[in-house]
Amino acid sequence: MGRLLEVNNLQTQFFTQDGVVQAVNDISFYLDEGETLGIVGESGSGKSVGVMSLIRLIPIPPGKIVGGEVIFDGQNLVKMTDNEIRSVRGNRIGMIFQDPMTSLNPVLTIGRQIMEALELHMGMDKTQSRKRTVELLEKVGISGAADQVDRYPHQFSGGMRQRVMIAMGLSCNPQLLIADEPTTALDVTIQAQIVELVQKLQEDLGMAVIWITHDLGVVAGIADRIIVMYAGQTMEEAPVRELFAKSRHPYTHGLIASLPRLDQRSGKLESIEGLPPDLVDLPKGCPFYARCKYRIPKCDKQRPKLDEISPGHYVACHIDINKDSITTEHPWEEDKE
Amino acid sequence: MFKFIVRRILGFIPVILSVAAITFFASKAIPGGPFDFAGDRSLPEEVVKNLEAKYHLDWPGWKQFTSYMIGDELTIFRTKHEIDDVNVFIEGDKAIVNGNVMLLDNKTLCKESGYIVYGGFTIFDLDTEACGTSQGVIRGDLGPSFRYRARTVNDIINETLPLSAQLGLWSILVGLIIGIPAGIVAALHQNTIWDYLATFVAVMGVSIPSMVLGPVLIVIFANNLGWFPVAQWGAKPPYFENMFLTPGFDWINYFSHAILPVLTLGTGISAVFARLTRASMLQIIREDFIRTARAKGLHEQVVIWRHALRNSLIPVVTILGPLAASLVTGTLIVEQIFGLNGLGKHFVQSISNRDYALVLGTTLLFAVLLVISNLFVDIMYAWLDPRIRLE
């Protein structure tokens, strides 16, 4: 499989009245064709801004990509002209957003909203694009699609709207689909359906997927690799099995520990104490320092680099929690008493 | 949709009736009367009495109101007249005198003889009872003016409304053409020089009253530059309805008269539209669906035109209704400054003149236009936003 996307040292900042918000702070990752990459992090960790920056969808101003490059299929998206990037968006890179309730234009029919991308990128006329729109809607599991194309978003349920969004994101057969928390606003049964749908479509169409979520549980089943982001930086990156089995970063540990588990009787869920740092005023050292159980003085002074500790497994941490401290299944368990 | 419109129109009836009743009794509650003065002098008491009798001001209030609304004939029919032991009912063009039906041409009789003669006796003096008085609002007769005695309220409205309506509608058009694009430009270039410029001009437009802007425009463009005439715009046919169809209509001449008053009035309106459009556009372009549209790779112009504009026009449409009603019925200040014989002055003067019929006539006209334009606004809403259903 060829390399589809390579992101090197991407930095996105927002220039606000309160100061410069360092939303994405030097992240690098890659994606192969047909691969699924999960990006996990809590709210404000820069995961959405990071992928938005790939196709330059961040509002400029106040946002700005201040450094790095995004090599997609051999071309640097950061250096492209506005017209060039527009021919990539929606065409070779499709996108699905978090809230299907607000992400569709309420005053246009869903058909119109899907057709306009087809007409723009694939040069179809009204009849062709309409025919393809019906096919796409059927493909994403909207029954009676021919009758549904002329309906408005408010006439659909949340899950159905997300299917419409997916049809829209896939309309021009993209090489890459970016799914920005597509299941967050949906209830659990619908979440599972949407995850399955995207997986099935990915198999059919052979596209690569970047799946952003704050829920490790969602990406555990679908991603090939997972990147854990915190305060705009990559904390850990590993193949999915390795991440769950041998996570090295205290933050990743915390995330895994805070997943609800069926094999534990205790009713209370683990949580990571404290709040993420202010992105305007990032600490000099490790951004997770203030919340870290394993911190050592060095962590406050020097920001850890992302090191490859085993093939494909990268960690940005000064210590090895499996060696340097009491090894417990979950590092916070000792505090519970 | 059709059902909705019919129901709304039926709903107008109680509204208009209430407006009429409240205005009628409120205007009567103001001390003084229409015949207190003729010029500077006060009239002798007998003359006032006669005049009041002629206009039925000696009737009790409820009867005056009923007569105003449904016409004298029906009112009199309901309130049986007994004159010299003769019972008279007037119903339409028939008079029923002691059970015998007489056909009468009301107007002819009014003008030529002024009374009904029956059996050699004058039994029904039309001059005081039925002549020169109202056919009733329900038949479109707004009654005689008490101040302009040669004219009815209908005459006055017919003379002055076309000019006021032209001024008002052109001004709204100017407001839309300047205001909406200015608002869009300001919103899309928020916090840049374009935004500040548009906002500054809009604040100026709102803040400079027309009694300042009007004379300034007159001094510059009429007196100094001599480009446009002033105080000569008359409401001559062709009016709006056939203006566009009239071959050889002298547009240049027409607009040379119209441009200054229209700009004076339109500046403030475009400023209002610009501010509204800017505010709602700023809100809409931050919506998720605009991001979706951009993620599709649409050109920015398509994003704004197709995805943002329709959503952001709703506040503009909301104020368009009441604004249209008030502008079409005339604007006192601009009409006075440019010496236009518009309806605006009658709204104000009729009250100080105690010209009850004209007060009511202008108020009812405004009320009717207001409810119609609000209906229009609701239909526009449904067209702009499919989530709004007219059921």
Spatial separation of the C-alpha atoms in residues A61 and B280, rounded to whole Å: 19
Mean pLDDT value across residues A309-319: 83
pLDDT of residue A167: 87
In this model, does residue B153 exceed pLDDT 60? yes
A121 touches chain B (CB under 8 A): yes
Tokens coding A240: 């999915």
pLDDT of residue A332: 46
Amino acid letter at B110? C
Asked whether the CA dihedral B214, B216, B222, B228 is positive or negative, the reply is negative
Instruction: Say if the Cβ atoms of A116 and B288 lie within 8 Å.
Output: no
Spatial separation of the C-alpha atoms in residues A183 and A324, rounded to whole Å: 38
In this model, does residue B80 exceed pLDDT 70? no
Helices B2-29, B61-70: axis angle to 10 degrees equals: 140
Confidence of residue B63 (pLDDT cuts 50, 70, 90): confident
Give pLDDT tens digits for A209-254. 998 888 888 888 888 899 988 888 888 888 888 888 888 888 888 8
pLDDT of residue B43: 75
Which of A102, A103, A120 has its CB closest to that of B297? A120
Lowest mean pLDDT among A155-164, B110-119, B252-261: B110-119
In this model, does residue B266 exceed pLDDT 50? yes
A175 touches chain B (CB under 8 A): no
Task: Please tell me which residue of chain A has the smallest CA distance to B383.
Answer: A107
A80 touches chain B (CB under 8 A): no
pLDDT of residue B218: 85
Residues of B with CB under 8 A from a CB of A: 287-289, 291-299, 302, 306-307, 310-311, 384-387
Residue A172 CB: number of other CB atoms within 10 A? 21
pLDDT of residue B390: 63
In this model, does residue B33 exceed pLDDT 90? no
Spatial separation of the C-alpha atoms in residues B330 and B327, rounded to whole Å: 5
Q: ipTM beyond 0.85?
A: no
| DSSP per-residue string spanning A127-159 | HHHHHHHHHHHHHTT-TTHHHHTTS-GGGS-HH
- For residues B56-86, one letter each, b for 16 or more C-beta atoms within 10 angstroms of the residue's C-beta and e for the rest, the string is bbebeeebbbbbbbbbbbbbbbeeeeeeeee
In this model, does residue B83 exceed pLDDT 70? no
Which of A89, A107, A152 has its CB closest to that of B295? A89
Residues of chain B in contact with residue A86, where contact means CB-CB under 8 angstroms, are 297-299
Question: Percent of chain B beyond pLDDT 70?
Answer: 78
Mean pLDDT value across residues B269-297: 89
Average pLDDT, chain B: 78
Give pLDDT tens digits for A84-124. 888 888 888 889 888 888 889 888 889 889 888 888 888 88
Instruction: Say if the Cβ atoms of B297 and A116 lie within 8 Å.
Output: no
Superfamily of structural domain B154-384: MetI-like (1.10.3720.10)
pLDDT of residue B176: 92
Average pLDDT, chain A: 82
Q: What does pTM read for this prediction?
A: 0.76
Instruction: Say if the Cβ atoms of B295 and A106 lie within 8 Å.
Output: no
Mean pLDDT value across residues B298-317: 87
Instruction: Say if the Cβ atoms of A105 and B293 lie within 8 Å.
Output: yes
Question: Percent of chain A beyond pLDDT 90?
Answer: 0
Spatial separation of the C-alpha atoms in residues A113 and B51, rounded to whole Å: 70
pLDDT of residue B94: 57
**Residue A69's closest CA among A83, A56, A57, A82?**
A56
In this model, does residue B178 exceed pLDDT 60? yes
Give pLDDT tens digits for B309-328. 888 888 888 888 888 888 88
pLDDT of residue B235: 55
In this model, does residue B205 exceed pLDDT 50? yes
pLDDT of residue B386: 83
A165 touches chain B (CB under 8 A): yes
Instruction: Say if the Cβ atoms of B297 and A90 lie within 8 Å.
Output: yes
Residues of chain B in contact with residue A99, where contact means CB-CB under 8 angstroms, are 288
pLDDT of residue B220: 87
Instruction: Say if the Cβ atoms of A102 and B289 lie within 8 Å.
Output: yes
Confidence of residue A333 (pLDDT cuts 50, 70, 90): very low
Confidence of residue B39 (pLDDT cuts 50, 70, 90): low
What are the start and end residues of each CATH 1.10.3720.10 domain in chain B? 154-384
In this model, does residue B223 exceed pLDDT 50? yes
pLDDT of residue A80: 83
